[in-house]
Amino acid sequence: MQPLLAVSGLQKVYEGSGRRVEAVRDLTFTIEPGELVCLVGPSGCGKTTLLKCVAGLLTPTGGEVLLEGRRVSGPPPGMAVVFQEYGRSLFPWMRVRENVELPLKQKSPLSRARRRELVAEALESVGLADAAGAYPWQLSGGMQQRVAIARALAYEPGVLLMDEPFAAVDAQTRADLEDLVRRLWRERGMTILFVTHDIDEAVYLGERVLVLSASPTVVQEQLKIDLPAERDQLHTRVAPRFAELRTHVYEQIQAAKRGS
């Protein structure tokens, strides 16, 4: 089977004012349809650069990104991104409903009724059916990020990219949102690439974890997470296997930082 997303030899070099920074050196990995893959790496390792290259928001210096066999040269249709900065990613001049609906208006021609249906479904599945008429700034941080997730869901993307989406919310909200992502992934059979700096989060969420090295970045290790599909905050996090996996990833990241 052809992978849904294939990244090969990806390199990104920033050049400016006489300084040359190689953020990403040589990244190669693939994602199969329906997978939930977490990318984890030491801070400053170019995770966001990688994600933006995959999303078509940045042009890589070398290598390529293929989505369903087609080379990504700009933001491809069928890909949605959830950013860390939900407050800036949602438009404060639009109500929640309009924020979720806007991308649909730009997508393939959908009837008005169908758009409404998708918006209502998406808000329902993140538990914000009541907030449709509110402005984003009237909601708490966790709710705002759920609106951003609903916007991505309604778009029905082939691949959902999430760039440290829960880094700016409190720990309890974060746990709820992690469970939300797991549930949506299982219910909808989506393909998700989830970038995080949090090792526990990566192991808890992912079916597979890609450990990145320090910048200039390469894939340090790929790890299959053999935890049961049914996961919950209470039991999964204290399971011996969870501890083993997180310790392993932690060691890999420490090794990556030392540059070995």
Partner 1 sequence: MKERRLSDPGAGSGPLVSLTNDERPGRPRPGLTNAVLGVAGLAAFLALCEAVPRLGIVSAEFFPPASRIARALVTELGDGAFWTALGDTLTGWALGLAIAVTAGILTGVVVSVVPYLREATASTIEFLRPIPSVALIPLAVLLFGTELRSVLLLVVYASFWQVVVQTLYGVQDVDPVAEETARSYGLGTWARIRHVLWPTALPYVMTGVRLAAAVALILAVTAELVIGAPGLGSRIAVAQTSGAVPAMYALVVVTGVLGLLINVGARTVERRALAWHQSVRGEVAV
Which residues of the shown chain bind partner 1 in the complex (CB under 8 A)? 52, 55-57, 75, 77, 79-81, 83, 85, 88-89, 91-94, 102-103, 106-107, 135, 137-140, 155
Asked whether the bond before 60 is cis by omega within 30 degrees of 0, the reply is: no
Residue (55 or 123) nearer to partner 1, CB: 55
Residue (57 or 239) nearer to partner 1, CB: 57
Cα→Cα distances 170→101, 113, 114, 163, Å: 27, 36, 35, 17
Least CB distance to partner 1 at residue 209 (A): 24
Whole-number Å distance between alpha carbons of 181 and 239:
20
Least CB distance to partner 1 at residue 244 (A): 36
Whole-number Å distance between alpha carbons of 10 and 62:
6
Least CB distance to partner 1 at residue 55 (A): 5
Least CB distance to partner 1 at residue 246 (A): 30
Residue (160 or 256) nearer to partner 1, CB: 160
The candidate with the shortest Cα–Cα distance to 94, out of 132, 120, 143, 149, is 132
Least CB distance to partner 1 at residue 131 (A): 12
Residue (66 or 94) nearer to partner 1, CB: 94
Residue (138 or 247) nearer to partner 1, CB: 138
